[in-house]
Amino acid sequence: MEAALAAPSVRYFNPAWFATVMGTGVLALALAQFGLVGLALPVYLLALLVMAALLALYLTKLLRFPQAALADLQHPLFSQMLPTLPIALLVLSLATRALPLGPWSIPLGQGLFLLGTPLIFAVGLLVVYTVSTRLKLPLEAANGAWFIPPVSALLVPMAGGLWLSSFPQVWQKELWVLSGLFLGIGFFLFLFVLPSFLQRLYGYGRLEPHFLPSVFIGLAPVGLLVLAPWRWLEGGAQVGLVPPGWVEAWPVVGLAVWGLGLWWLALSLLLLLDTLLVESRRAQFHFAPGWWGLVFPLGAFTLATLALFRGLDSAFLGGLAWVLLLLLGAFWLWVTLYSLRAWAGLGVLRPPKG
């Protein structure tokens, strides 16, 4: 009762809220890619405003309550959410690249990319180092949040490839090489995490309802493993670093990767319905910022589906891409509504109940 009446404080700010920017930014990016620029622009501006507000709160927490920020790093779940900050920067960079924002869009997008890239490396490494040296997590603790470090790394080659030609020529080769390094980091980290998560599902049964949205996070690395090598190779071809034929062959490889995403989406939706349709489990499905795990991964998979439709000219993929966009919009509205309710009265800046 005392916790519920405590005054709001940035001490209790959850870094997982940066996933709000990820979800809103990817919706803006998807709307732009589908040609719905009139809808994409206000969503993009909303993402920028939310990013500025959340960044101000988090920087205040770092300055005023450094011990609380350190406790987040040593928390088994909150620590996995810390990379959402640099991920949000890269997502905004990608959305900036996709929209007609005027001459200031190039320096803004480049700046977000150059700021987010080293932060992704540093924060992801710090999280894995801290968890492996300060915590001893059982396999039963595995959840979809473990996919976040590989997701963060895979965004670098995607953004790097798209922005590559806009940088001075003297930078291009080194930026392309650097982006390729992150492609390897993300790919192999995904391969390490995937079997751990599946073993947890097989060995320990049903996930607790509050972990359910994290299952959808597995869609993100799959979608990005379709898009990131593709955009990285395209960027390299545009500046003469790789043969164009490499780019032309990628959709065939990407389609095989995409198949895992379709299977994962079906599994995730089944698990979600399994919870929502049973009253006893639905009653335990309380809102948390982790619900944004329903949005960004679906956005990444939607963008991958659209890209493959355009690369392969498949009517099946084209129709499915539009269905996924509608589902993405529905999930975004659903989670946004609950987020607004959570922020009403600044309840999210109070100590957790219990």
Overall number of domains in the chain: 1
Structural domain contains residue 219: yes
Structural domain contains residue 154: yes
Structural domain contains residue 354: no
Structural domain contains residue 81: yes
Structural domain contains residue 52: yes
* Owning domain of residue 217: 2-349
Structural domain contains residue 72: yes
Q: Can you read off the two tokens belonging to residue 301?
A: 């998979």
Domain holding 207: CATH number? 1.50.10.150
pLDDT tens over the chain, length 354 residues: 444 457 899 999 999 999 999 999 999 999 999 999 999 999 999 999 999 999 999 999 999 999 999 999 999 889 999 999 999 999 999 999 999 998 899 999 999 999 999 999 999 999 999 988 988 888 888 889 999 999 999 999 999 999 999 999 999 999 999 999 999 999 999 999 999 999 998 998 888 888 899 999 999 999 999 999 999 999 999 999 998 888 988 999 999 999 999 999 999 999 999 999 999 899 999 999 999 999 999 999 999 999 999 999 999 999 999 999 999 999 999 999 999 999 998 889 988 775
